[in-house]
Amino acid sequence: MSLEGAPAAFAEKRQALIGEIANAESSRRAAADQLATAENALAEADRDARAALEAMSGAREEAARAEERFEGAKRRLTDIAHEIREMLEVEPGAVAELAELKPDAPLPEVEEIEKTLDRIRRERERLGAVNLRAEESLPKSRLSMANLTRERDDLVEAIKRLRQGIQKSQPGSARALAGLLRSVKTHFERLFTRLFGGGTASCKLIESDDPLEAGLEIVARPRARNRQRCRSSPVGEQALTALALIFAVFLTNPAPICVLDEVDARLMITTSSASATCWTR
């Protein structure tokens, strides 16, 4: 190559190199764009991978919890079946039939079942503990029951004989009591008049014609005294009236010894023991 043609050749090479540089720059920019796109895709893939890992970890945890709940439900089901066999003495499949629940019938309310269950439990608690040795003590209990039944029959027969004896002796007892009351009345009237220096007093049967069933009414009137209940009269008059009645009884049926304790007590103490009603006039 001559020197004269060198500038043109250099210019041509230079122009070729500039074109190659432009092409290389264009290829570089395209490669950079592809690299950026690939990096973005990689970052997105990393994010998706991390999300997938987190989702997989959550799914594993949920699966573990579900497995634990499943095992717990199986254990609970086994325990319930054991309780059913132990308490109800039937297989779990026969519980619905035992509870009289039909397959096509609606289930009862839970609150109603709980109330019924509480009521049955209270009734069972009231029955008390089960005596496991009841069968062993049954012969002894039967023997004791037989003895008690025999004693009861003896008592019933004795009461029957006693009532028959009372019925036979009742007419004579009624006549004897009526005679005693007449004597008590006579002594009471005399003693009352003597203790009070006058006045009138009497006693009579009331509320029944049978002396054994009747009550006793005491009517007492000291001098210058209007009719009033004994509870409203002075304590001294009540005590004297009571003493008159007590000594009237002792004069009718004398006793070798008589002990009077607190003789000034109210007449109500004496009349309540005699089933009597007392008035003063």
The domain ranges of the chain are 175-280
> Is it the case that residue 14 has pLDDT exceeding 70?
yes
Which pLDDT value is given to residue 274? 36
* Average pLDDT value for residue range 132-150: 85
Which pLDDT value is given to residue 266? 45
> Is it the case that residue 248 has pLDDT exceeding 50?
yes
Q: What is the mean pLDDT of the chain?
A: 77
The first and second tokens of residue 155, run together, are 């008592």
Residue 152: pLDDT band (50, 70, 90) is very high
Residue 125: pLDDT band (50, 70, 90) is confident
CA-based R_g, the chain, Å: 59
* Average pLDDT value for residue range 214-240: 68
Can you state the angle between helices 134-196 and 235-252, rounded to 10 degrees?
A: 100
Which pLDDT value is given to residue 261? 67
Which residues on adjacent β-strands are paired with residue 221?
200
| Nearest alpha-carbon partner for 202 in 280, 133, 263 | 280
Residue 1: pLDDT band (50, 70, 90) is low
Q: What is the CATH number of domain 175-280?
A: 3.40.50.300
Q: How far is CA 70 from CA 55, 63, 64, 79, in A?
A: 22, 10, 10, 14
